[in-house]
Amino acid sequence: MRNPSAILIERPKGVPTARHFAIEDRPLPSLEAGQLLVQAQAWSVDPAQRGWANDAPNYLPPVAIGDPMRGFAVGEVVESRRPDYRPGDIVSGMLGWSRFAVSDGSNLDGKFTYSDLPPSYALGVLGLTGVTAYFGLLEACAPETGETVVVSTAAGSVGATVGQIAKIKGCRTVGIAGGAEKARLCLEEFGYDAAIDYRAPGLIDAIDAACPNRVDCYFDNTCGAISDAVMTRLAKGARITICGTAAITDWDPLPQGPRVHRQLLAASARMTGFLAFDYADRRHEALDALAGWLREGKVKVREHWLNGAEAAPGAIELLYAGGNTGKLLIEL
C-alpha cells in the first residue's frame, strides 16, 4: 500500500507555500504493542499550521525539516494492538499529514461517536474548531442576551460557528468577512444580523451602521486593520477574544500597530488570548452542545474539499489568502 505524506522540506518564514513541501511515499509503519494504525480519510488545514512550520516562539516546537507536516486528520483504525480501539473505529487527532499514521493513543481525541454526523466534522465543528468557537466565545467573551457580538473571519470555520452560537444565545451578530460572496454567506447561511465586507471601502462607517450600540464582544481571528477598526468602537465593559492573527504574516520582529491600552482603559474592556488546548478537559461539554445544535439545524457547517495529498502543499497558502469558503479539508 502507498503511504503518501506531505513532508516539510524547507523552513518557511511566514505563510508556508507549495515550495516548502514535497509529497513523498513513506514506508508503511509497522505496529508495536500498544499502538494502532489509522488510515486517514481527510487531513485538516488549519491556521495554526503556519506557526508550527515556522521557527518562532510558539506553544509547540517547530516541525522538523524532513518530517511529515504536523496536522489534524480523521480516519479509520485498520489495525490495533490496543484493547481500547478496534478496526473500524473512527478516530481523529494530531496524526500528521500522512495517509497512514501509527498512534499510541496519546495524540488522539478519542473515538468519533456522533455516528449520525459526518466523520469530517471531527476536524471542524465537532473538533478543535468547535471547542475554540464554543469556549472562546462563551468563556472568554461571555456574551449576554441582547449584546452585540462582532466576529472577524466570520464565514470561516471558527467564525461561522462563533456567530451561530452567539445567535443561539440571543445576541445581535455582526460578521466581518472578505468579499461580497462571504458577506452573503454570513447573512444567508450563518444567520448573522449584519455582514461587513472588509474589502469594500468605509469599514468604520460599516461597523457604526451595524453596531448602533457599539461592540460588546469581539471575537477576533485577524489582528491588523480589521481589529484596529473594531477596537475604536468598544462598548463599556467590552470583551475581546484574541483567537488568531491571520492578517499578520510575520511576528519577528514584533509588528507595530495602534496601542490598545487607552481603548481598553476608557471602556473598562478586557482582551484575552485564547487557546483551545487550555480547555481540553472540557472538550465534550462543547462538542455535545454543538452536536445537539447541528441535529436541530441551529448550527450549519460549510466544508471546502481539496482532492488528494497533492493538494496539501498549497493548502495553507490558500487558507491564508482567504481562498476557501468553509472548513478547508483534503480528501485522501
Q: Which residues bind a copy of itself (CB under 8 A)?
A: 57-59, 220, 223, 227, 242-245, 248, 251, 254-275, 278
Nearer to a copy of itself, 24 or 139 (CB): 139
Nearer to a copy of itself, 66 or 237 (CB): 237
Taking the complex as a whole, the smallest distance from the CB of residue 234 to a copy of itself amounts, in Å, to: 9
Largest CA distance in the chain: 62
Tell me how far apart the alpha carbons of residues 13 and 6 are, in angstroms, rounded to a whole number.
18
Nearer to a copy of itself, 150 or 294 (CB): 150
Nearer to a copy of itself, 202 or 273 (CB): 273
Residue 1: is it exposed, middle or buried by C-beta count within 10 angstroms (0-12/13-18/19+)? exposed
Q: Are strands 215-220 and 234-242 parallel, antiparallel or unpaired?
A: parallel
Taking the complex as a whole, the smallest distance from the CB of residue 179 to a copy of itself amounts, in Å, to: 23
Centroid of chain to Cα 199: 22
Cell of 25: 511515499
Taking the complex as a whole, the smallest distance from the CB of residue 304 to a copy of itself amounts, in Å, to: 25
198 in Cβ contact with 177 (< 8 Å): yes
Taking the complex as a whole, the smallest distance from the CB of residue 142 to a copy of itself amounts, in Å, to: 12
Query: What is the enclosing helix (H) or strand (E) of 203?
Result: helix 203-210
CA torsion 251-252-255-261 (nearest 10°) is 70
Centroid of chain to Cα 75: 19
Taking the complex as a whole, the smallest distance from the CB of residue 27 to a copy of itself amounts, in Å, to: 36
Nearer to a copy of itself, 186 or 319 (CB): 319
Nearer to a copy of itself, 113 or 268 (CB): 268
Tell me how far apart the alpha carbons of residues 125 and 145 are, in angstroms, rounded to a whole number.
23
Taking the complex as a whole, the smallest distance from the CB of residue 227 to a copy of itself amounts, in Å, to: 7
Q: What one-letter code names the amino acid at 306?
A: L
Taking the complex as a whole, the smallest distance from the CB of residue 277 to a copy of itself amounts, in Å, to: 9
Nearer to a copy of itself, 127 or 244 (CB): 244
Strand partners, 39: 76, 100
**Helix/strand/coil for 227:** helix
Taking the complex as a whole, the smallest distance from the CB of residue 264 to a copy of itself amounts, in Å, to: 3
- Bin 237: left if φ > 0, else alpha if -120 < ψ < 50, else beta: left
Nearer to a copy of itself, 244 or 313 (CB): 244
Is the preceding omega at residue 253 within 30 degrees of 0, hence cis? yes
